[in-house]
Amino acid sequence: MCVPITVHEADSALRLAQRAKDLGADLVEFRLDEFFTGQAADESGDGGGGDTREVREIVRLISTSPLPCIATCRPVSEGGAYDGPEDARIALFERLGTAFGRLESGEQEHPPRYLDVEYATYARSANIRQKIHLAIEHPEQLRALQTSLILSTHDFAGRPRDLTRRLLAMRQTPAKVLKVAYLARSLRDNLELFDLLAQRDRPMIALAMGEFGLMSRILAPKFGGFLTFASIAPTETTAPGQPTIDDLLHLYRFRAIRPSTAVYGVVAYPVAHSLSPHIHNAAFEAMGIDAVYLPLPIPGGPADPGASSSGGTWYEPLKATLLDLVHYAPLHLAGLSVTIPHKENLVRLALEQGWDLDEVSRAIGAANTVKIERDAAGMPARIAVSNTDAPALVGAIRDTVGDLAGLDVAVYGAGGAGKAAAYGLARAGACVTVYNRDPSRAAALASSLAGLGLEVRAADAASFPASAHAIAINATPVGMNGGPNPDSSPFDPATLPVSACVAETVYAPVRTPLLRAAEKAGLRTIDGVSMFVRQAALQFTNWTGRPAPAALFERIVREAAG
């Protein structure tokens, strides 16, 4: 793992390099392009002839680095900051590769372990190639400390159209390491990079940038990538989508990832704030399971004028991405959590593909779990789609209230969570009333459940409470951090009997305005963490066949949700 450090000044860069070492990095990359201006010695007042102050500082930085380093001075044309004269940049490379003198302090100078030069620069002229060859390790050169060439190519707009041609040309060079980095425009763009790693003829770095590229960075050891980059802090990244060392080592357990590691993940959009990677990765670690759990962002497609309100623009990207990931055998994708906005389209996809679909998902038209079993060749042999929200909610309420048969229950909300709640509670024998601000959605839910032989009443949210409910459940995002009404309660719990119990599906914050008001009114409460932990635990067991460490899940979620 390599930590890129943007050099503004040698001493602060050395402090950051020491910090990177302390945090567990193997290598640092000194990004010199913000520091090096390429100013000639006579212009900089250094008297001409010898090194400029800038060059002396760079040589000192590299010579005294606490970790082996890559020296990079990226020009603007490849996404860097260097816009000085090109001959000065090439002269810097020559100087660094042949740094064998003594520093002013008397210490021995030494060259960087790697020099990163862009393929476009290297290919530009025989003269440049000759100078770079002077600075790097090659068959005719004999010296104790050697600098290896990393030949790199970057595209910040997407996969380069001539990628294959570029790579073939890069393979004709004496570079020790080849590096390809491009902006991923979808999760699917990672897969080609994994193929490139599989076909490598020498050590290779193949990374996708941006929010869709995280997978390539975390899974580099699975596919034999030479290294991955990680930042000391979110503010210190040098490329979009770079994870922090802390996340890479502790959240994603980078050191434990190997070719056999199974991959799980949460499909959502947005996904960055999901707690699921925290709990499932911690469980894999605690139970010694060779697996990693990733955030898998899948956004909607371009607006389609004919799209229905049920999420037409979300379906095609979900379908295309999931089918590619599922059928890419080397990924060993074994299971998925699926959440907003894809739960309904997952059911559509399962029906279309003939995947197994459990009764709850069929009944409510929304699912949140995928399990993929593979044959000896790694291809999917059975894909099972299920819904753990309904059993999780019913289980969490049963834990507090006991048997639900005959109890009068209000479900407030008729979206995905409301449907799961109404179905699960009606199946458990409760007398359910679904309230919704758009009463037609509540009526539609009641009529679809009637088709399954489940009797559920529908009501306008304005009429809450229509009876003396024993339990009332919030299945709307009202009260959720970052939601439409974070400071509001969906209904007034003081209108319920004092013996009633109020349950939340919202879990961030843990104590929502509704729960606080219910406690004030002296009612029993069940927070949304109980449901979240249970639905995740059911997923974990579904995938692994083992009981989930629910107490660990609960501790992590409560700490994070606040």
| 413 binding ligand NAP? (CB under 6 A) | yes
Least distance to ligand NAP, CB of residue 393, Å: 8
Instruction: Return the number of the residue (413 or 513) whose C-beta is nearest ligand NAP.
Output: 413
> Considering only residues 386-405, where is the footprint of ligand NAP by CB under 6 A?
389
Question: In residues, how long is the chain?
Answer: 562
Instruction: Return the number of the residue (45 or 484) whose C-beta is nearest ligand NAP.
Output: 484
Residues 532/395, Cβ–Cβ less than 8 Å: no
The residue from 176, 179, 343, 419 that is catalytic is 343
| 322 binding ligand NAP? (CB under 6 A) | no
| 507 binding ligand NAP? (CB under 6 A) | yes
Least distance to ligand NAP, CB of residue 131, Å: 58
> For 346, what's the count of Cα atoms within 13 Å in the CB-facing half-sphere?
31
Instruction: Return the number of the residue (210 or 415) whose C-beta is nearest ligand NAP.
Output: 415
Least distance to ligand NAP, CB of residue 514, Å: 11
Instruction: Return the number of the residue (79 or 416) whose C-beta is nearest ligand NAP.
Output: 416
| 300 binding ligand NAP? (CB under 6 A) | no
- Beta strands 356-357; 333-338: pairing state: unpaired
Instruction: Return the number of the residue (136 or 426) whose C-beta is nearest ligand NAP.
Output: 426
Residues 349/370, Cβ–Cβ less than 8 Å: no
> Rounded distance, CA 387 to CA 427, Å?
14
- Read off the tokens for 35: 């520091």
- Read off the tokens for 18: 């020491």
Q: Is 30 helix (H, G, I), strand (E, B) or coil?
A: strand
Instruction: Return the number of the residue (289 or 557) whose C-beta is nearest ligand NAP.
Output: 557
> Considering only residues 326-385, where is the footprint of ligand NAP by CB under 6 A?
340
Least distance to ligand NAP, CB of residue 248, Å: 27
176 is catalytic: no
Phi, psi of 391 (to 5 degrees): -65, -30
Least distance to ligand NAP, CB of residue 107, Å: 58
> Rounded distance, CA 217 to CA 241, Å?
9
> Considering only residues 137-176, where is the footprint of ligand NAP by CB under 6 A?
none
Given the rule CB under 6 A, which of 180-188, 226-234, 345-353, 411-419 is the region that contacts ligand NAP? Answer: 411-419
Site string for ligand NAP, 525-554 (x = CB under 6 A): ---x--xx--x-------------------
Number of residues that bind ligand NAP (CB under 6 A): 27
Query: Residue 394, class by beta-carbon neighbours within 10 Å (0-12 exposed, 13-18 middle, 19+ buried)?
Result: buried
- Read off the tokens for 360: 């709850």
Ordered alpha helix ranges (H), 380-512: 389-401, 416-427, 439-450
Q: What is the DSSP string of 298-364?
A: ----S--TT--TTTHHHHHHHHHHHHHHHH-GGG-EEEEEE-TT-HHHHHHHHHHHT-EE-HHHHHH
> Rounded distance, CA 243 to CA 73, Å?
22
Rounded (10°) CA dihedral 267, 272, 277, 278: -160
Phi, psi of 418 (to 5 degrees): -65, -40
| 484 binding ligand NAP? (CB under 6 A) | yes
Instruction: Return the number of the residue (238 or 368) whose C-beta is nearest ligand NAP.
Output: 368
Instruction: Return the number of the residue (61 or 279) whose C-beta is nearest ligand NAP.
Output: 279
Least distance to ligand NAP, CB of residue 477, Å: 4
- Read off the tokens for 38: 């390429």
> Considering only residues 421-480, where is the footprint of ligand NAP by CB under 6 A?
436-438, 441, 475-478, 480
> Considering only residues 210-239, where is the footprint of ligand NAP by CB under 6 A?
none
Least distance to ligand NAP, CB of residue 325, Å: 23
Rounded to a whole number, what is the largest CA-CA distance in the chain? 93
Task: Report which residue type is found at 295.
Answer: P
Least distance to ligand NAP, CB of residue 390, Å: 10
Which are the catalytic amino acids? 343
Residues near ligand NAP, by CB under 6 A: 340, 389, 413-418, 436-438, 441, 475-478, 480, 484-485, 490, 505-507, 528, 531-532, 535
